[in-house]
Amino acid sequence: MANIRLHGSELLIGLQLNEEYINQYAAEQTDGNAAMDLNYEVDRDYLWTSACSMASHKKLCEKLDPKYFNDTNRIFRMDYEKNMEAYIAQNPMDYLVLDLFYTYQASLAILDGEIYTCNGALKHSEFYVDYRKEFRIVPFEELPEEEWHSYMDKYIAMISKYYDKDHMILVRSNYAKEYVEGQKVATWERDDVDIHNQGLRRLEDYFIQKTDCYSIDLAKYYRIAMHPKKGLIETNFEKEFFKVAASQIYKIIEETPKQRVFDAEPYSKLLSNYVAHFEEGNILDENGYCLQQKDLVDSLVLTMNKWCVERYWNDFTKMKEMEPKNLEEILTKYDFWCSIDLHDMIQAIIAVQNKDLYNEKVNYQVLAKFENNYREDLMGLIAMEVKQVFDLPVQKVTIDNAGIYQKFLLYYKNKDKKSFKRYQKELDKELKHTFNMRREELMRIFPKKEDLDRILRSM
């Protein structure tokens, strides 16, 4: 179990590193139960504070009055006392996960050479009231480059004592031009987005250059989501972003990959758009949102129902990274440890493509169970085989009972009593509830009178 310290904006809370997303991803990577033991311990104490103000920029002066230590606002006290380094030393954590959105967005309050985050906590403090006229309030974007460089250098020097480059993860942010409200997409009418993004990226680039930390640069692919209570917040991205970013953090912590920058557009984003428009025919536009039949993994996804795409999004993403040449390669090389039903579906699809109805290792019924598009092809193949073998009308075979007929065919071909006994209980149940066959039709399937009498008694 890793211990994680967060520093930055509300964006980091959305990652839910000790809750929903990280547990879901961990469960998909392990045996399904491991998530119960992989809850990360997360320290959120230094959220909503600027990196520029966390390291002291001068010797504490006489204005550091003990009376302000009693302020009830924890965020103000931490900023006022400049005790982040002492806190880190006394409360060690394995990883520092941070974003610099709040550092860029928040103005700085400067008093006698000391830097404070100009947030609500400061403005409501007795300290601010006492020295209001002496404070210099400066938006970050108005600071000269050499000045904010010096502030960030002190912060980087402080955290680098406790976290090396493999234990620092920067989640890059982005000012989005569009937002989502329900099923609607709208443009955020503001003309400063590009300017702010340039400024924010300069800050993030500087931090990465100085630390060589891991960086996750995925927010640029997502829109803002309308918060039900707070309205439009720059750090409240679409849910898919938090899910993907959290899974990437999990991967970094568990694998320590050589790759330092993670900025490729997630395949899961495409899948998310696909699911969102599932009932509309899945055709969006030519800007990367539509799945392509010519792509093997895309074409596999297109056979699935909505639930399967949502359930196995991570599997499809990793399959995409494999760049497989055929489904057989996926079946033999991919680890289906927690995705047995997906394995069975692919195995059944291969069997249907090969027109193989007699493979005892294949669970043909899984195609109907999960409403896979190949269930109709399977039904057609079984119907033709039933007509040829048993001389029964093809109309007898439906999507729901095709799997049962396939078992009849397998039993008939093998003439194997053990095989029949293995299916006997299920056959009896399905016959009773789904078939209304004539006696002579049953006789063609069960030529032995004792078998026929037993079946008729059960119906």
pLDDT digits (tens, 9 = 90+) for 86-115: 899 999 999 999 999 999 999 999 988 889
Q: How much is the pLDDT for 213?
A: 98
DSSP 59: -
d(CA 419, CA 428): 14
Query: Quick check: 17 and 4 in contact, CB under 8 A?
Result: yes
- Which pLDDT does position 158 carry in this prediction? 95
For 319, the token pair is 């399959």
| DSSP-based three-state secondary structure for 445 | helix
Angle at 173 between CA 171 and CA 175, to 5 degrees: 175
Q: Mean pLDDT by 10-residue block, N- to C-terminus, for the chain (459 residues)?
A: 90 79 56 48 88 78 66 80 89 95 94 90 90 94 95 96 97 91 78 92 98 96 82 84 89 93 86 73 48 85 91 89 93 91 96 93 91 93 85 77 78 63 57 49 59 52
CA dihedral 402, 404, 405, 410 (to 10 degrees): 130
pLDDT on residue 28:
56
Q: What is the pLDDT of residue 145?
A: 95
183 vs 180, 215, 226, 262, CA distance in Å?
Answer: 7, 31, 11, 29
pLDDT at position 283, please? Answer: 46
Q: Record the tokens describing residue 345, joined without a space.
A: 């579906």
φ, ψ of residue 170 to 5 degrees: the values are: -95, 120
Look-up of token digits 């803002």 = 224
pTM of the model: 0.70
Rounded to whole angstroms, the Cα distance separating 89 from 264 reads 35
How many alpha carbons fall within 13 Å on the CB side of residue 153?
7
Could you list the beta-strand ranges (E) of 15-151.
41-47, 95-98, 108-111, 114-117, 136-138
Single-letter code of the amino acid located at 437: M
Specify the amino acid at residue 42.
Answer: V
The 8-class DSSP code of residue 238 comes to -
Q: Which domains does the chain have, with CATH numbers?
A: 3-265 (3.40.50), 266-319 (no CATH), 367-458 (no CATH)
**CA distance readout (Å), 342 to 10, 299, 303, 336, 345:** 36, 14, 12, 8, 5
